[in-house]
Amino acid sequence: MSERKVNFNPGPAALPLDVLKTVQSELLDYQGSGMSILESSHRAKEFEAVNDRAIELVREVLGLSADYHVLFMGGGASTQFALVPMNFVGEGQTAAYVDTGSFANKAMKEAQSITNVHVAFNGKEEKYRRMPAMDEIKYPADAAYLHICSNNTIEGTQFHTFPSTGSVPLVADMSSDIASRQLDYSQFSLIYAGAQKNLGPSGVTLVVIRDDFLATARKDVPTILSHKTHADNKSLYNTPPVFGIYIMKLVLEWIQSNGGLAGVERLNAAKKDLLYGAIDAAPDFYKGAAEKDARSWMNVTMRLPDEELEAKFVADAKKEGILGIKGHRSVGGIRFSIYNAVTLDDIQKTVDFMDKFRKSA
Ligand code: PMP
């Protein structure tokens, strides 16, 4: 096998090697069933056990109480941009959106095409370089919910504290930082996350919904687009993304075996400290793209003195086996996506490369 690369892809992204090895070893004959989990029925006992355990593991890893429904849906996080307002904004109600980045903005735009939207914070004019202070987020007391994006994948900014919304339900797109740190996940009424960054492969989206919020869902939504349908049927109303759910279960087990979110957070803190440390140690050459107190632990964005050097940085890194670092096409620059499965060794190798590159430039 050729050597595995340092993989900073923003999603689909690096998966834990141990998980991939388990998938490989079980692929042709899943636990003595004589067939692959890819080939077994979603109603078979083998898959039902995987599904049940994956649901339990989401609750265990995130520390969620039994009144949270755990759903595995298709369509990516982008589908939730539409389904959340369709399901949770009642007749005559308004949903509030915090606009902190490209995906937060997409979620808001989708909601605007469906219902009334109140812009609770607009970060666009400042090019999304910072996050709002809690008292800058303003919304009506009777809003159907307040929507935030906890980590802005493209810009490299992240919420480090969350608004206390009282009786207004808090909804979060956590696609790019779910299960990366310890959090009071119970402050959220609904969380959704495409799996392809921290939880598994693309094709499955995790949705967790607290029961009291689900009880407010509209009843006039088509069956297949209703969260309640999927909650009532353990995501088995129709054929779910079976392979994604299976891999998510393995990734959650891997998180548990690494000390749960406390262990993952320790490692992620060490990784981001090492990488931001290298950026800040050479301020005339590497410049963090986001304001310091808004910096993401997951997507580290930076600029070099000019675009030509940035292109050379990407090309030279590739020669060293460091991949996936070209910034999103909408913002340019460099982005290291350092999700859970990226190792401290990967970061050390990168920091060594950055030092060498700067000295030779
Ligand atoms: N939200 C965030 C924060 C994201 O990073 C992404 C994808 N990069 C999306 C939503 C869209 O996810 P999907 O491609 O699964 O629809």
Q: Which pLDDT tens digit goes with each residue over 318-335?
A: 999 999 999 999 999 999
Alpha carbon of 75 to ligand 1 centroid (Å): 10
The answer to whether residue 300 scores a pLDDT higher than 70 is: yes
Percent of the chain with pLDDT over 70: 99
Tokens, residue 333: 């620059």
Q: Which atom of ligand 1 is nearest to the CA of 79?
A: 16
Structural contact between residues 170 and 187, judged by C-beta atoms closer than 8 angstroms: yes
Reply yes or no on whether the pLDDT at 149 is more than 90.
Answer: yes
Ligand 1 close to Cβ of residue 300 (< 6 A): no
Q: How far is the CA of 12 from the centre of ligand 1 (A)?
A: 10
- Given a contact cutoff of 8 angstroms between Cβ atoms, the answer to whether 148 and 98 are in contact is yes
Residue 124: DSSP 8-state: G
Hey, which of 9, 72, 73, 78 would you mutate to test ligand 1's pocket, going by the most ligand atoms within 8 Å of its Cβ?
78
Quick check: CB of 78 below 6 Å from ligand 1? yes
More confident residue, 1 or 14: 14
Task: Detail the DSSP E strand segments found in the chain.
Answer: 6-7, 68-73, 94-99, 116-122, 146-149, 151-152, 157-158, 170-173, 190-194, 205-210, 287-288, 299-303, 322-323, 334-337
Mean pLDDT of 222-236: 98
Q: Which residue type is seen at 159? A: F
Mean pLDDT confidence for 96-106: 98
Residue 152 near residue 158, CB atoms below 8 Å? yes
Task: Report pLDDT for 3.
Answer: 87
Please say if the pLDDT value at position 44 is more than 90.
yes
Q: Which residue's CA is the closest to the ligand 1 atom numbered 4?
A: 175
Q: What domains, with CATH codes, occur in the chain?
A: 18-257 (3.40.640.10), 260-360 (3.90.1150.10)
